[in-house]
Structure 1
């Protein structure tokens, strides 16, 4: 079989062990890395304020539109909730990872499914109303215009979860349907989320200066929203081209945040 130069350019290059820092400031850390890597997880400051991520759903990205990039890990072979459980509490720790009683938002999953692997004392199912038809299978009769978001309150100790502790609401009690139009005609990433949606979640569950963590950063929208809301972010993305896109977008957000601070 003859291999062309284009074939070599299309090869997926895995990130190095422990990841590679592509961007680091007092507002943002962005790594090209594998979120399964315990050496990478160990680099996240303990006691961070929010875990907010959109992992591959394990169903494969399906679209009849040509030119859409593939999503690493979107083939159903990875138990993503167990992976994210390590980010919330590495090796089952009661002291490391996400701070106790802080929140998680996981796109694409039912809230009841996240309770055990992410040690949540209380969970709620949210709905993102996308306002536009999805970019999925264009041959289907019905088009999905919404996406579930699992919200949970992380409690590290089983006794706390069993006795119902960790039932506190988000900072601003709101309805469970969030209507934000998805990016239209955007080919940067198949699952890119609107910045105002992520800003709403971050504003509801953190205070200024908190660290927001996204192990499956995609195009970096979580980081953009965090920076613009006066929070800090720690982003990890497996695919190099998307990791570099994260850097570009977060750097633009940092410049805007600097301008807002200077006013």
Structure 2
């Protein structure tokens, strides 16, 4: 049975609707992974056991009331598939909140990745919490095979900047954040992979920076969002060319 439900090609971007865990083993190896992966998180709703999911869930069902929307892919399975989806020497950026950093890191080590750095995104606008308001998220900067220096070694561990939301996706990330990772760990013409594409932010960054892109998304409304955004991005190439684009 074909796991690919729909496929659209826009320039050098290949966008696939379907289950990433089933699809990735059949795809050519990518040069870089940059992904806001799905993970369990506490919402801030009233229930003590409240949880929801980041990533693959319907925006019209998303509520801050502590309801379980969808089960996530187990981290060990996810990271093993990610490791196999990359070329022999490659970087991998996966985002996590504070509660998921350690289990995701353990899964990454178990899959064969090594850790370069724990990066921090200061999203400026905090999320309400009784135990310190949460204004940061984390990115595991991993590598497979031989370690490579980033294209701009003057880049800082902490990046600060909010989101000008382009879609109704509840966990949309800013293009400038994903662009920093894409720019530093790939070259023009290389392939960037996002197995949990969501609204397509990584694909937008890749298109603006002259990278090839493969994105996979399970939920069709989000897939349609990503298609529209990436199509629009191809009409504005090299958006980030003047901001530290040092890769050949």
Secondary structure of the residue aligned to 1:145 is: strand
Residue-pair matches, total: 219
Please tell me whether residue 83 in structure 1 is matched to residue 73 in structure 2: no
Q: Choose the corresponding residue for 1:126, options 89, 94, 119.
A: 119
List alignment gaps of at least 5 residues for structure 2: 47-58, 242-248
TM normalised by structure 1 equals 0.73
**How many Å separate the matches in 1 of 2:186 and 2:218?**
26
Bigger Cα displacement from structure 2, 101-110 vs 117-126: 117-126
Please tell me whether residue 252 in structure 1 is matched to residue 229 in structure 2: no
Secondary structure of the residue aligned to 2:234 is: helix
List alignment gaps of at least 5 residues for structure 1: 1-15, 90-96, 156-165
Q: Decide which structure has the larger Cα Rg and report it.
A: 1
1:198 matched residue in structure 2: 178
Q: Retained in 1: the 8 A contact 2:76–2:108? A: no
**How many Å separate the matches in 1 of 2:135 and 2:239?**
36
1:178 matched residue in structure 2: 159
TM normalised by structure 2 equals 0.77
Alignment of 1:64-213 (within 5 A): 69-70=61-62, 75=70, 78-89=73-84, 97-108=85-96, 109-110=101-102, 112-134=105-127, 138=128, 140=130, 142-155=132-145, 166-173=146-153, 174-183=155-164, 188-213=168-193
**How many Å separate the matches in 1 of 2:105 and 2:219?**
29
Distance 1:69 1:22, change over 3 A: farther
CA offsets 1:135-160 (integer angstroms, 9 cap, x no match): xxx474632100010001112xxxxx
**Higher percent of residues as strand:** 2
Distance 1:62 1:151, change over 3 A: same
